Each structure stands twice: as structure tokens, then as C-alpha cells.
Amino acid sequence: MIGFRALAALLAVAALPVAAQQAPPASAPAAIPAAPTAAAKPADPKPKAPAKALPPATGITPNAERVVTIGAIDKRTGVNRSFVGNPGQMFSFGALTVRVRTCETTPPWEQKLTGAFLLIDETTGKAAPKRIYSGWMFAESPSLHPLEHARYDVWVKSCTMRFPETGPATVVAGSVGGGDKPAASKAKKSPAVPSAAAN
């Protein structure tokens, strides 16, 4: 039978922290287990060339390459979503089907104005879809041509387009015909005046 003092000594040893019982010697730092790594992939024999930048736009962005963002909200449930796509695409939201025919935005050097031409149909029950909106909506003036519906609200958020930096009628300051050579002044020259004698 174990005595009271021997039992107390055993309990004291058991109460020590596990880390203290299994700590490595102070001279050897504890090793951190390595995380499992995936098998190393062999080096690609043909390094990929860096991606080329898109050439500058030479004309207005074609309709199919524009990116339009449309917002929609269900006023009864509070559910709202944003749809991003290209003109010609359509999306569904609740009982609505929204088709984006085109979108436009002004170039950066003009006053900001963004709009999209939308066709919105509503399907109720088994009846055929009913056209409830057809026309332009403008992001800067959503109340100008709103969708008047008791439950849904749809609006235009943005339209992304590229514009050429120069056009056929662009005049570059200080150049003739758009070249790099500075233009000669056409102002009438002053008559030559003899300078005063030095003192």
C-alpha cells in the first residue's frame, strides 16, 4: 500500500504541465514540424512571355465589348443584386427578365453621363411575359426614366467603354498637322530698331 507522502509526490508530478515534462534540453531548440507540401512541379522548359498590353483604341468600343452594370432590388424582401455583362445579354430577377440592348457613356473629357437601353418583361403565373419597360435609363438621373413597379426597382450603375486618345479632328497644341515639329509663328514681326549705344 502506498503511503500518503508517496501518493502526494505522484500527484504533484502528474500535475506538472505536459510541456514541462517533455521539454527538450535548453541547448537544443525545438524543431517546428514542416507543413506538408505538394510535390514540386518540374520547371517549364518554355517560359511564358509577359502578357501584351492592349493596343490603344482606334475607335469607339464595339457594342459587344462594352461592360454594363445593372442594379435591381425587390422592395418587399429587400433583396438586391448587381448584374455585370455585355449588351445583348439578359438576366432574371424575381419575376423580371431584363435585356440590355446597348449602353453608352461620355468620354472622360466631357460631363459624365451614362445610360443603357433596357427591355424589361414581367412574368406572372402562367401568362405570357408582359413588357413593362422599354427605353433608356441614366445612371446620373435615375428618376428621369424610372421603372414604375410596385415591387421591383431596376437602375443603371455603369457602362465601361474605351475611347481613342486622338481623333481625325484632334489638334495637338504647338504642332502643325499633328506632327511633332513646333509651328512657326505667323505673327507680323516688329521693325528692327537700332539698340542704344553702350555707356
The pTM is what?
Answer: 0.55
Report residue 149: phi and psi, to 5°.
-140, 145
Regions of the chain short of the pLDDT cut 50: 1-54
Q: What's the number of CA atoms in the CB half-sphere (13 Å) around residue 154?
A: 30
How far apart (Å, rounded) are the C-alpha atoms in residues 123 and 120?
A: 10
> What is the per-residue pLDDT for 157?
95
How do the domains of the chain map onto residue ranges? Answer: 67-160
Cα atoms in the Cβ-side hemisphere of radius 13 Å centred on 82: 8
What is the pLDDT, as a whole number, of residue 140? 92
Buried b or exposed e, range 108-140, using 16+ CB within 10 angstroms: eeeeeebbbbbebbbeeeeeeeeebbeeebbbe
pLDDT at 136: 95
Kindly report the backbone phi and psi dihedral angles of residue 13, in degrees, each rounded to the nearest multiple of 5, phi listed first: -65, -40
Q: What is the DSSP letter of 92?
A: E
Order the strands of the 80-85 sheet from edge to edge: 80-85, 67-74, 152-160
Residue type at 3 in one-letter notation: G
pLDDT of the residue at 179: 54
Number of neighbours of residue 69 by Cβ within 10 angstroms: 18
**Cell digits of residue 181:** 515639329
What's the pLDDT at 170?
A: 67
Q: What is the pLDDT of residues 176-186, one digit of tens each?
A: 555 556 666 67
Contacts of residue 104, defined as CB under 8 A and 6 or more positions apart, other chains included, come to 114, 115, 116, 159, 161
Nearest-10 Cα torsion for 18, 20, 25, 27 = 120
Q: How many CA atoms lie within 13 A of 17 on its CB side?
A: 3
Per DSSP, 144 falls in state T
Residues 99, 134: Cα–Cα separation, whole Å: 10
